[in-house]
Amino acid sequence: MKSSDPFKWRHFQPEIIILNVRWYLRYPLSNRDLEEMMLERGLKIDHSTINRWVLAFSPELEKRTRRYLRPANGSYRIDETYIKVKKKWKYLYRAVDSGGQTIDFMLSAKRDRHAAKRFFRKMMQSDHAAQPYAMTVDKNPAYPVAFEAAQDDGHIPKGCKLRQIKYLNNIVEQDHRFIK
């Protein structure tokens, strides 16, 4: 989308392209589902074309909409789970606020202090994240080490506390069900 008109040389109207990209990103629909929905509306669009639209336009949509997200509160819940991505097991680090709003997420091959520190750094760079006063994590021994290192580097404010309380992380634990 570097040119002034990102839809130049496209065979379909911009409204149709944005509609398909938005539906794909918002609802659990596959490209073939969208192809069938467009066929019911009289438009013959191949599923691979929809996939190319998603790859081309979703980064720009994400960049433009991120600033309009509700700001997260200062009580973070952080957890990781494992998921299969392209037939390989990966760790999905996630952070939500006490209201359940997602702050950030990251995929990692390992579950160690380096991955936790990298996630803390990435999480604190989110535009809609408020300065945390408390971060609640599970009993993973990598979190306290990574937390102290991130505080020493200046990524996490010095007044923030790390809490290792199991039951407070129920919000993010229950949210993992929808991902798996």
Q: What is the DSSP letter of 6?
A: T
Angle (deg, nearest 10), helices 31-40 and 47-65: 100
User: What's the chain's average pLDDT?
Assistant: 86
E-strand spans in 54-160? 75-85, 88-97, 102-108, 134-137
β-partners of residue 76 are 97, 135
Tell me the pLDDT tens digit for each residue of 1-33: 455 777 887 888 999 999 999 999 889 899 999
Q: What are phi and psi of 33, to 5 degrees?
A: -65, -45
For the chain, the structural domain boundaries read 14-67, 75-179
Residues 122-139: what's their mean pLDDT? 84
Can you say whether residue 42 is alpha, beta or left, with left for phi > 0 and alpha for psi between -120 and 50 degrees?
A: left
- Name the band, by pLDDT with cuts 50, 70 and 90, for residue 64: confident
pLDDT of amino acid 60: 85
- Name the band, by pLDDT with cuts 50, 70 and 90, for residue 135: very high
Q: Which CATH number fits domain 75-179: 3.10.129.10, 3.40.1160.10, 3.30.420.10, 3.40.50.300?
A: 3.30.420.10
Residues 85-106: what's their mean pLDDT? 87
Please state which of the ranges 63-67, 91-95, 145-149 shows the lowest mean pLDDT.
63-67
Sequence letter at residue 58:
S
Tell me which of 98 and 178 has the higher pLDDT: 98
Task: Extract the tokens encoding 156.
Answer: 């996490």
Q: Is the pLDDT of residue 153 over 50?
A: yes
Contact at 8 Å (CB) between 116 and 57? no
Tell me the pLDDT tens digit for each residue of 45-54: 999 999 999 9
